[in-house]
Amino acid sequence: MLNTNKFRIKQKLVALTDQKGATLLEVCLSIGLVGIVVTAVLLGLSTSFKSTVLANKQATAISLAQKEADNLTRQPYNDNISDYNRIELTNYSNYSIILTPLQLIPNGSGQHDALQKITISVLNAGSSVYSINIYKVE
């Protein structure tokens, strides 16, 4: 009788540990978990790529604005904004620079020298990326 009980217990243990394969529920949960992890990783990579592209655009725009500002400050004062020499943008096909002048003190006003504020706006594909102001005095 003792041997019979041992045999039954042994059979139950073998039956519990002798499972082969996974249930449909386990497979579905595993696939779902892998999908969530892969989606999170891809979203992180996408955000990182977009941030890198934006930082590159901003760095390029700042550099172009500074070059244009240095170029304009080396030139003598001129009432007509179109008479200033401009930097070349041949290596920057998607970028453009817009100069917006504002005469703060007009030329020939008597007691003061003429003062001109120039806003340098750098655009990429038509949208503004960076702007700075410089002042020129006659």
- Whether the Cβ atoms of residue 121 and residue 98 lie closer than 8 Å to each other: yes
47 domain residue, yes or no: yes
Residue 14 in any domain: the answer is no
Burial class (CB in 10 A: 0-12, 13-18, 19+), 122: buried
In a domain, 1, yes or no: no
Report yes or no on 48 lying in a domain. yes
Confirm whether 15 is domain-assigned.
no
**pTM of structure:** 0.69
Show pLDDT as tens, one digit a residue, over the chain (138 residues): 556 666 676 666 555 555 666 788 889 999 999 999 999 999 999 999 999 999 999 999 999 999 999 999 999 988 888 888 999 998 898 999 999 988 877 766 666 678 889 999 999 999 999 999 999 887
Residue 10 resides in a domain: no
Rounded Cα distance, 48 and 54, in Å: 10
Q: Which domain range does residue 118 map to?
A: 23-137
Q: Is 11 domain-assigned? A: no
Count of the separate structural domains present in the chain: 1
